Every structure is written in structure tokens, then in C-alpha cells.
Structure 1
Amino acid sequence: MGNTKYNVLFMRDDDSVKRYRLSPFWLRVLLWIVILLAICAGAGAWAGYTFWTENMHLKQDKIELQKNLSDASVQLERLENVNKILDSYDPNELQSLLAAVPVEEKKVESTPAVNLDKLLFYKNLMRAGVENVKLRKSGGRLALSFDLNNLQTASALSGLAKIALIKNDGKSVEIKANHNDMSFHIQRFKVVRTRFSVPSGSELDDLYGVRLMITTNKGELIFSEVYPLSRFLN
């Protein structure tokens, strides 16, 4: 029994039969090698799936962090806008005015409060991205430019960009800019440039900011944000 051997035969049609004699030890070694290879393959597959899952979770966390950072940036800018509006009111002058007006007339002649929610209204459906907004004086007019990106590149985005000027008292004046400048049909992005005049009867000092609105060809508002003029015209 100690000299037991296994005969392995290899037969071909065009060659003689070849025989190999193997001891049980080498057969067991070969079996263990196959088992180890199977274990290694299984461990490699498990490790690959685990690392892939962790990588997907990390990517998702990164997207959430970027979104939270973007939202925080927007909220910070809105708070800065609110602070600038509040700073534009002189508390001493307001107090003097209230003291000079009789009690009976204060309710009638009081200045309406500015609705900050309406003034600083912000909307972003994440379908259109607006970047690199620039505004400058150009020959007695205002020149506006910005990058318009299609955030859903699976389909083209068509529509119209609109402009409105926001006065210090909270009123909005829509600007009729050149339609060819403001209309778009994009798969990826477009640089929008246009020029417009300040409405008659208004001065730059009377204006707080410019509202930029993006609408689809169906008239749906998908983006709206107010940019203070002090951000561009100093």
C-alpha cells in the first residue's frame, strides 16, 4: 500500500498512448492547489465588490457634500444681500421721520415694508446652471454676460433667459432685452451676452440688483436669482 501509484493515461488518435504514474501525495497537492485557487478567487471577488460598494458610497457622500456646500453658499449670499438692504436704511433718519409725523398720520403715511422673501426669491430646479455672471457699464448701457449650462445632458434644453431690475424699494422692473441674445437651444452650454438700458426715470443708485430668470420653451421657471449691483459696479 505504501507504493500505491495512480496511472494517468493520455491518448491521441495520431500518437501513441502516454502513461504517467503519480503518487497519492501529488494528487492531494494538486487538489489543495485547486481549492486554494478557488478560495483566492472567491476572496478577490468579495474584496472587489466590497471596495466597489464603498467607492459608490463615497461618491454619493461627495455629491451630497457638494450639494450642501452649494446650498450653504446660496444661503450665505442671500443673508449678505439682506444685510446690505438693512444697512441701506439709516435708523437715525427713520427715527426722526417717525417723530415728526403726528400719531394720526403715521398709519396712513408709513412707508410699506420691503418683502425680503419676494425681493430675494431664489429658485433652482437643477436643470440649468448659471455661472460666471458679469455686469458692467458699456456706453451708457449695461452689458450682461453669463455661462448657461444644461445640467441634464440626456436631452437638449430650450427656452428664454429673462432680466429684471430690482429697485431699492423692492419693486421689480422687467427688461426687454434682445430676444435673439436671450433665447437658447443647448445640449451642453452657451455663453449669453446682451446689452440693455436702465429704464427711464431710474438711476443706478436707485437699483439694488438684477434678477436673472431662466424659463423653458413651455414657460416654466427653472432658475431665478438676484445679483446685487454692488457685486459688479463699485
Structure 2
Amino acid sequence: MSDKGKLNLIWFRDQESARRLRLRPGWIRAATYLLVLMLITAAGGVFASYQFWRRAQDGQTERRDLEKRLSETLIRLERLQNIEKLIQTSDAQELAQLLAGMGVDPSVKAQPQPAPQAKSGKDAKDAKDSKAQPPAQNAAPPQAPPAERPGGFDLAAVVGKVDLNQVGVENFRVRLDAKSIQYSFDLANLMPQSLAGSGQLFAVSREGTLTPVQTGKDDLAFSIQRFKQVSAQAPLPQGVEPSALYGFRLVLGNASGKTIFSETFPLAQAQ
């Protein structure tokens, strides 16, 4: 070390002259402090990265939970909207058909009793004499004939709904003419993985009869990741009149044949 407080570094090599490097002690201390600071900074960066990664994982978990809850809420809202549309669009004839299917005769109504009229003179006297005499026999009140239930009618099979929350069906529309049916709807996959399957369309009469519609081979087959729009045309079943139709029932099944969705759409709602 020199008199001025510097460090002299001298090194030698063969066949070369000696070299000397003079350093102040402050530079060595500064390099040491810088190295320690770099180590502390690196440790802080690792800790901050871990914290950010953990918060990102928590955020993804919360996002998945919110998406699931939103999907369930949308499905419930769709059901309530369908019920509201069915109530708003149902006419007296459709309600009469449903009541007949449940064994209730909608034509039976209470008959109002006529108001008693005042009697005078001879009519009043005759009425008094007739009251004094005991009645020969009480007349039996008329009874309404029992309502006939259509044979083979199953209300649950006609208007019941099956939904396993695997697919969503929206905007079901039908256009009818004398010989053909044009139908369309939006099909959404509610599962995290892709979903494949097929479907069947039934014509529902006002008497509760289900008649299969001869759709194309691939018209109702689906293999979707998120969303698919279905639009096709099929002939009207033989012997079925458009005026006698109540609606159409859509049945969807997965690849194994299990029914995952089934719902009846009245014509007043689907048109």
C-alpha cells in the first residue's frame, strides 16, 4: 500500500515486464456493496414473482367460479323467460288442451241461479198450498259427464323438460307450410371439453301425440367446442295438419345415447 492509501497490485509474466494496478479502498468497498445489493434485489424479485404468480392463480380460480355461476344464472334466466313467454302466448284453446290432458273438463261451468220473483194473487196462494204438501221425492241434481282422457297421453312426455346443463338451446324458430318444416336454433356447449351427439325433432299435436319428424342424417348431429347454429328443413309428417299442431319437441342426446336436453316449444313462441 502506498503512502496515499492506495493499493498496488503487481503481477508478473514470463518474458514480459511487470505491471502494476493502483486501486483506492473505496472502490473495493463500493464493489462489495454493489454485489450485496444485487443479491438482495434478486431475492426480492424472486419473492415478488412468487407473490404475483399466486395472485394470478387465485384470480383464475375466481374467474372460473364466476363463469360457472354466470352460466347457471343465464340458464335459470332462460328458463324463466321461456315460462313467461309460454304464459303470455298461451291462448284459451292451448290451456284447454292441457287441462284435458290432466283429466279436467274445462267446459264445465257453474250455472247461475235465477233470482226469485215476487208472486201475487192466485199464484201466491197456489205456491203456499204446494209448500204445505210434502214433496213426493227429491230430484237428483244433474251431474256433468266425466272428462275423457286421451289414450296414451303423458303430460310429462309432452311438455316436460330435461336439462343436464351440458348444452344450451336458444332462439328456437319454426316456419310451417303445407308440406315442409323449416327450423333453426342456437346450440351452445356448456361443458369445458368438446361435446358430440345427435338429436330428434317431434311434432306435438293438440291432443298430446308425438310424431317423429324425418330430419336429415346430419341435420341434428353436432360436435361442438363452444357454439353452433343449426338451420335445416324437413318434410311435414304424413297425416299431420299444421292447424292441429301445438308445437315441436326437441330431444338432444350425447354420443352414448343419453338424453341431455329435451323441451317442447309451442308454435306461438317458436314462430
Q: Which of the five TM-score ranges fits, normalised by the shorter chain?
A: 0.5 to 0.7
Match of 2:212 in 1: 175
- Note closer, same or farther for the CA distance 1:201–1:148 as it changes in structure 2 (3 Å cut): closer
Match of 1:45 in 2: 50
| Superposed CA offset, 1:16-51 (max 9, x none) | 999766546422343134213312331232123213
Tell me the CA shift for residue 53 of structure 1.
1.4
SS in 2 for 1:97: coil
Q: 2:253 aligns with which of 208, 211, 215?
A: 215
SS in 2 for 1:98: coil
Instruction: State the alpha-carbon separation in 1 of the partners of residues 217 and 91 from structure 2.
Output: 38
- Note closer, same or farther for the CA distance 1:110–1:103 as it changes in structure 2 (3 Å cut): farther
Q: 1:67 aligns with which of 64, 72, 78?
A: 72
Q: How many corresponding residue pairs?
A: 220
Structure of greater Rg: 2
Structure 2 unaligned runs (5+)?
11-17, 97-104, 112-139
Scaled by the length of structure 1, the TM-score of the pair is: 0.67
Higher helix share: 1
Q: 2:202–2:249: 8 Å Cα contact kept in structure 1? A: yes
Q: 1:163–1:210: 8 Å Cα contact kept in structure 2? A: yes
Q: 1:7–1:21: 8 Å Cα contact kept in structure 2? A: no
Q: Structure 1 residue 81 and structure 2 residue 86: aligned?
A: yes
Q: 1:225 aligns with which of 259, 263, 269?
A: 263
Instruction: State the alpha-carbon separation in 1 of the partners of residues 43 and 8 from structure 2.
Output: 26
Tell me the CA shift for residue 121 of structure 1.
1.7
Tell me the CA shift for residue 145 of structure 1.
2.9
Q: In structure 2, give the amino acid aligned to 1:213.
A: V
- How well do the aligned residues superpose, as a CA RMSD in angstroms? 4.3
Instruction: State the alpha-carbon separation in 1 of the partners of residues 7 and 50 from structure 2.
Output: 35
Tell me the CA shift for residue 129 of structure 1.
4.4
Scaled by the length of structure 2, the TM-score of the pair is: 0.60
Instruction: State the alpha-carbon separation in 2 of the partners of residues 47 and 153 from structure 1.
Output: 26
Match of 2:110 in 1: 99
| Superposed CA offset, 1:54-79 (max 9, x none) | 24312321331232122221233134
Counterparts in 2 of 1:22-41, with a 5 A limit? 22-23=25-26, 25-26=29-30, 27-41=32-46
Counterparts in 2 of 1:74-223, with a 5 A limit? 74-82=79-87, 84-85=89-90, 88=93, 89=95, 97-99=108-110, 105-106=143-144, 108-110=145-147, 117-138=156-177, 140-148=179-187, 157-159=196-198, 161-169=199-207, 171-182=208-219, 184=221, 186=223, 188=225, 189=228, 191-197=230-236, 200=239, 202-204=241-243, 206-216=244-254, 218-223=256-261
Q: In structure 1, give the amino acid aligned to 2:37.
A: W
Q: In structure 2, give the amino acid aligned to 1:109.
A: P
